[in-house]
Chain A
């Protein structure tokens, strides 16, 4: 009851934190798509490079988020950005790489070799093949990777408050330091709600963007 009263009284602040959180996740995943998808496509050309890139991305995702934020502080201090929004976004971009690169790579590799041969035999260039055949076929799986990245980053984004990046994590950290169960619950509930909404929204986007011919059984 107390928590509900707290939420009702602080709606504008919650809204602002929510926006900060969405901005952190949106920007980081946006950039991660722009880097991860091309990397995922490129590494389909070489098994050895694919193994290396996926290995590095897997290692990055195992670094505890607090530790990664910590590592970035001295590095980014050099340009006067040791704490705040920039290190948080950079860390989140790194975390988002694995799901996006891995799903892109797997999806392209799983395209039926017969389709690739048909495309080549009909005179498509590599780029035409990618645009007309491979990417449309891989798209549902790539979007699944983006969904994982978004949910992952919404969770990790809650920790970014410790380096002053704001977001919904602020309620959680204050709730802990002030032993205020209302703030703690507000933070936890809003982060969960955001994750659920984002996941369903992307699922809808995936349905819309997938060719009807692929949805058929």
Chain B
């Protein structure tokens, strides 16, 4: 856990950071967000005392960092910068082992650790350990930069716009990889960004800064749904409700336990089921419950026969683990107002409609 108490930084007469109070819970990713010059980077650098605070206190796991020697403090905190900063004179292996070497780990232990870490970010150790930074692509370099910060297994990680210099396609990939890694490692992370989309994607909590002040500190969904003032709402963008789509999973907006028919059922059964639920169509599932097709009311009501003979292909399906953004995108792509929701094995779990999405998004607005 990281706690900042009334932390300020003055450069001459300029107040860069003004009495910040905040607490980052253990295992959380806290994204410091704001326009340039807002004090977010200064705040982060005060945590490992690259910039000494003018006043105020910073606690790591309840321990006041003012009393800790700054070199050993920094060795216990992982640090990743935007420019990556791999040392070009060292191999990838030696770069990863910088902090373990400073801490005096036995060589065998640190080298083994380097190899494991490379594996974790999908870089083959037998290929990459002995390479030099200049032989790597930008994306590979930043992966090494991230695992270098993890080498001595620090509980806390500081990241200064770590994915800012990477092209958009690779950035998405590395962000996803990093989130997977974090789900496993559960580090306490302070992450500086100026990209609201990145923040919404990565953060458990977002801190919005302006002119050295902490304006709002909340969960991404609350920041998007309830910006405290005009500055925050402008900063998060006029499409903030659309951004919230990323934060909500299909399961949360899905109607579960839906009516269903099988191929051998009669159309009469299907029509009755639809009438009962007031639906205009019903999903046909296979023998074990996988979503297979759909029967429409307007087709079924005038015909006789079995469902299997009159079913049509499903207009669209979505995985229950996807976020609402992909669901909405599917709806627009196929021009439909509902989607069948399936799990990883294709079993029919429920359906999601434009109306149910609107309701989920709207709940938080009505609450207040």
> A residues within 8 Å of B by Cβ?
112, 114-115, 117-125, 128, 132-133, 136-137, 211-214, 216-217
Beyond A128-B102, A216-B132, whether A122 also contacts B89 by CB under 8 A is no
B50 at the interface (CB under 8 A from A): yes
Separation in Å of the A123 CB from the closest CB of chain B? 4
Q: Please choose the segment from B72-80, B119-127, B184-192 that sits at the chain A interface, where 4 or more of its residues have CB less than 8 A away.
A: B72-80
Chain B residues closer than 8 Å to A123, beta-carbon distance: 71-76, 99, 102
- B-side contacts of A122, CB under 8 Å: 74-75, 79, 98-99, 102, 148-149
Complex formed: what's the CA distance from A217 to B133 in Å? 11
A-B contact pairs, 19 of them (CB 8 A): A114-B84, A117-B81, A118-B83, A118-B85, A120-B74, A121-B50, A121-B158, A122-B74, A122-B75, A122-B99, A123-B74, A123-B76, A123-B99, A124-B102, A132-B87, A212-B132, A213-B89, A213-B132, A213-B134
A212 to B134, CA, bound (A): 10
Q: Tell whether, in the assembled complex, residue B99 and residue A213 are in contact, meaning their CB atoms are under 8 Å apart.
A: no
Chain A min CB distance to B155 (Å): 15
Tell me the minimal C-beta distance from A91 to chain B in angstroms: 36
Given known contacts A123-B74, A213-B134, A137 and B88 CB-to-CB distance under 8 angstroms:
yes
Known A-B contacts A125-B71, A133-B87, A136-B89; the reply to A120 vs B102 at CB < 8 A is no
Flag if A117 contacts B90 (CB, 8 Å). Answer: no
A118 & B81 in contact (Cβ 8 Å cutoff): yes
Contact residues in B for A119 (Cβ distance below 8 Å): 85, 87
Nearest A residue (CB) for B87:
A133
Asked if B256 CB lies within 8 Å of chain A CBs, one says no
Produce 1/0 per residue, B153-179, CB < 8 A to A: 000001000000000000000000000
A213 engages B75 (CB within 8 Å) = no
Q: Are B81 and A114 in contact (CB under 8 A)?
A: yes
Q: Could you tell me the distance between the alpha carbons of A102 and B76 in the complex, rounded to whole angstroms?
A: 37
Give min CB distance, B222 to chain A, whole Å. 31
Q: A201–B133 Cα gap in the complex (Å)?
A: 29
B135 interface residue (CB < 8 Å to A): yes
Extra pairs beyond A123-B73, A132-B87, A136-B89 (13, CB < 8 Å): A112-B83, A112-B85, A115-B87, A117-B81, A118-B79, A119-B85, A121-B48, A121-B50, A121-B158, A123-B71, A123-B72, A214-B89, A216-B135
C-alpha spacing A29/B90, complex, angstroms = 29
* Any A CB within 8 A of the CB of B91: yes
Q: How many A-B residue pairs have CB under 8 A?
A: 77
Closest to B45 in A: A121
Instruction: Sort A-B residue pairs by CB-CB distance and give the 6 closest, nearest first.
Output: A118-B85, A213-B132, A123-B74, A123-B75, A114-B83, A121-B79
Complex Cα spacing A144 to B84, Å: 29
In angstroms, Cα B167 to Cα A200, docked, is 44
Chain A residues in 8 Å Cβ range of B90:
132, 211, 213
Query: Which one of B73, B74, B84, B89 has the highest number of Cβ atoms from chain A below 10 Å of its Cβ?
Result: B89
Complex partner residue of A115 from B71, B72, B85, B149, CB under 8 angstroms: B85
Within 8 A of A (CB), among B55-99: 71-76, 79, 81, 83-91, 98-99
User: How long is the Cα–Cα vector from A209 to B118 in the complex, in angstroms?
Assistant: 28
| B102 & A214 in contact (Cβ 8 Å cutoff) | no
Residues of B within 8 A of A124 (CB): 71, 98, 102
Nearest chain A CB to B352 CB, angstrom units: 45
Q: Are B135 and A114 in contact (CB under 8 A)?
A: no
In the bound complex, residues from chain A placing their C-beta under 8 Å from that of B135 are 216
Q: Are A133 and B89 in contact (CB under 8 A)?
A: yes
CB-based nearest B residue for A121: B79
Q: Are B88 and A121 in contact (CB-based, < 8 A)? A: no
In contact, B132 and A114 (Cβ under 8 angstroms)? no
CB distance from A206 to the nearest CB of B (A): 14
Question: Which of A121, A136, A214, A216 is B81 in contact with, Cβ under 8 Å?
Answer: A121
Task: Give B239-270 as 1s and 0s: 1 = Cβ < 8 Å from A's Cβ atoms.
Answer: 00000000000000000000000000000000
**Of residues A115, A118, A123, which shows the largest number of chain B Cβ atoms within 10 Å of its Cβ?**
A123
Q: Using A124-B102, A128-B102 as known contacts, say yes or no to A117 and B133 having CB atoms under 8 A apart.
A: no
Distance (Å) between the CB of A137 and the closest chain B CB?
6
Residues of A within 8 A of B98 (CB): 122, 124, 132
| Closest residue of B by beta carbon distance from A125 | B71
Q: Which residues of B contact A217 (CB under 8 A)?
A: 134
A213 touching B91 by the CB < 8 A rule?
Answer: yes
Cβ contacts under 8 Å, A211 to chain B: 88-90, 132
Q: State which of B71, B86, B88 has its C-beta within 8 Å of the C-beta of A214.
A: B88
**CA–CA, A124 and B86, complex, Å:** 14
Cα distance A119–B99 in the bound complex, in angstroms: 10
By beta carbon, the residue of chain B nearest A216 is: B134
Q: Which residues of B contact A212 (CB under 8 A)?
A: 132
